[in-house]
Structure 1
Amino acid sequence: MADKRIITAALTGAMSPKKVNPNVPVTPEEIAEDAYKCWKAGAAMVHLHMRDENDKPTCDIAKFEETQHLIQKKCNIIINMTSTGDSDDDKRMAHIIKLKPEFCSYDSGTFNWMANPPWVFYNTPEFLTKLNKVCLDYNIRPEIEIFNGGMISVAEYYIERGELKTPCHFQFVLGVKGGLAPTVENLVHLRNLLPPGSTWSAFGISAASMPMMYAILALGGHVRVGLEDSGFYTKGVMANNEMLVTRAARVIREMGAEVATPDEARKMLSITR
């Protein structure tokens, strides 16, 4: 079977302001249009955050619902909804429960995010226990986001108790201050900690995006790109999401692999709907 690699497009994020890069999509219409363009360029999955009228993160169910509807009218890309965007546990999950996307993000630990200003990224055992139940009850696949090695052991804790369904899919986030640095050594370390049978994807933040992409693909992983993680195509050249997906698809092919379609990715990621 051909070597297939999955591209995830993280379109908006919670901390990439439109005033810095006007290509960041913030309305449901803009996000859906970018999702469609990224699907045509080779993305199999799209990772969704919503923004309010002041360009701030929100868990507004209506915005998620409209965006999901608009995307599904255009293409069959896998929709992965964030479980961040609010400090209230129930609000973080309400849109996931109602809209039942195929995937949702699952950040398996709390840590100090050393941004400007620093803040605490809360993912408590109480929240994770609730999110585990949501994923099991509604047959939603969790994308387990990993910022340091200890988060993998948190996932293993829940796997052992039957609260996380295997095989699991992991997303390594490298370059956030407070998490692991974007190095090949750290990437290999995380990959080697994974439970048997897991699938994994990864990305480096900002200037680390391209060096890490080459390493990720060389090590057999899948890739995530998008304006959530990097606002520039090259130094001084602002990116858009379609450009970043197009480049990732080209690199995958130049390295001798093939770009997975959404339906191929569904089989690879054990989506059973």
Structure 2
Amino acid sequence: MNTGNDVIISAALTGAVTPKDINEHIPLTPEEIAADAYQCWQRGAAIVHLHMRDDRGLGTMDRDKFAHTIRLLRGHHDCDVIINCTTSGDSRASDAQRMAHVAGLDGIEMASWDAGSFNWMPGGVFINSPQFLGQLGEILTERAIKPEIEIFDSGMLGITDYFAGQGKLSSPLHYQFCLGVPGGMPATVENLLYLVAHIPADATWSAFGVGRHHLPILFAALALGGHVRVGLEDNVYFSKGIKATNAQLVERAAQAVRLSGKQVATSAQARAMLGIPALRR
């Protein structure tokens, strides 16, 4: 648990599904994603969580798009934001395609490790087989990429324990509690309390609630000593009927951190807390 006053803000910029028809501020191209990432870092995001979109606006695991976005973002020489890439951005992708970027690209410091499969209602099954998770864990460990262990339901804690016990995940672990996804654990403070109470004592954790649950889970995470995630991947509105931008969501999270008597962690501080090596350019 985070016993200090420094809070890591992670910005999840686009996701794999939500179209611009719903919110025109959702970034889709590498240029838009990199620009949003830079603006979010300027406003306090220590980490940016990256998905890619194809030319039709659908989620893709295109290795070249990840590479192009990372190059554009690192082109801002003042920006030391932690780059965290998804491994589940396209339900059509093979296991190999889901891992190609983390296996071969430089510049990725964190990557999602979704700790199990479940029925993502009503669209279909979100598949993360034991074989995939084991191989992904090995790649991330070998390349010193920090796994962001995404937990959608309580049973996934046991799956994480299994792979940590097998040496596929390196301690201390970092958890991202993803609450309010249809088919997953509801976004309640009670559920967040349960999850926090059942992770290793040396672990760090962050949390978010989908949609209208965004603010209650953000405030609960701050109260419980955790870190927070915001962004248009999870919530497209700033308030009822008012569309958000990623930068606005990060700025409000930073204000909430300060109002709670804590401090917004810089990317360098976040690396130290998470055990990520210092940025090398």
Interval of TM-score (by shorter of Structure 1 and Structure 2): over 0.9
List runs of 5+ in structure 2 lacking aligned partners. Answer: none
Matched, 1:272 2:277: yes
Q: Map 1:110-189; keep pairs closer than 5 Å.
A: 110-115=117-122, 118-189=123-194
Equivalent residue, structure 1, for 2:84: 80
Q: TM-score, normalised by structure 2?
A: 0.95
Equivalent residue, structure 1, for 2:18: 16
Equivalent residue, structure 2, for 1:106: 113
**Whole-Å separation in 2 of the counterparts to 1:240 and 1:45:** 17
SS in 1 for 2:75: helix
SS in 2 for 1:109: coil
Q: Which amino acid in 2 is paired with 1:34?
A: D
Equivalent residue, structure 1, for 2:243: 238
C-alpha distance after superposition, 1:36-61 (max 9, x if no partner)? 00000000000000000100011111
Aligned length: 271
For the structure 1 residues 2 and 188, does the alpha-carbon distance in structure 2 shift closer, same or farther, using more than 3 Å as the test?
closer
Equivalent residue, structure 2, for 1:89: 95
CA drift at 1:96: 1.2
Matched, 1:228 2:233: yes
C-alpha distance after superposition, 1:136-179 (max 9, x if no partner)? 11111100000011111111101112111000000000000111
**Whole-Å separation in 1 of the counterparts to 2:31 and 2:174:** 29
Q: Which amino acid in 1 is paired with 2:65?
A: K
Is the contact made by 1:144 and 1:169 (CA closer than 8 Å) also made in structure 2? yes
SS in 2 for 1:24: coil
Identity %: 50
Equivalent residue, structure 1, for 2:49: 47
**Whole-Å separation in 2 of the counterparts to 1:195 and 1:72:** 34
Equivalent residue, structure 1, for 2:219: 214
**Whole-Å separation in 1 of the counterparts to 2:208 and 2:261:** 20
CA drift at 1:195: 1.5
Is the contact made by 1:2 and 1:258 (CA closer than 8 Å) also made in structure 2? no
**Whole-Å separation in 1 of the counterparts to 2:63 and 2:168:** 26
Is the contact made by 2:15 and 2:89 (CA closer than 8 Å) also made in structure 1? no
List runs of 5+ in structure 1 lacking aligned partners. Answer: none
Q: CA RMSD in A?
A: 1.1
CA drift at 1:211: 1.1
SS in 1 for 2:48: strand
**Whole-Å separation in 1 of the counterparts to 2:243 and 2:72:** 26
Q: Which amino acid in 1 is paired with 2:173?
A: C
Equivalent residue, structure 1, for 2:69: 67
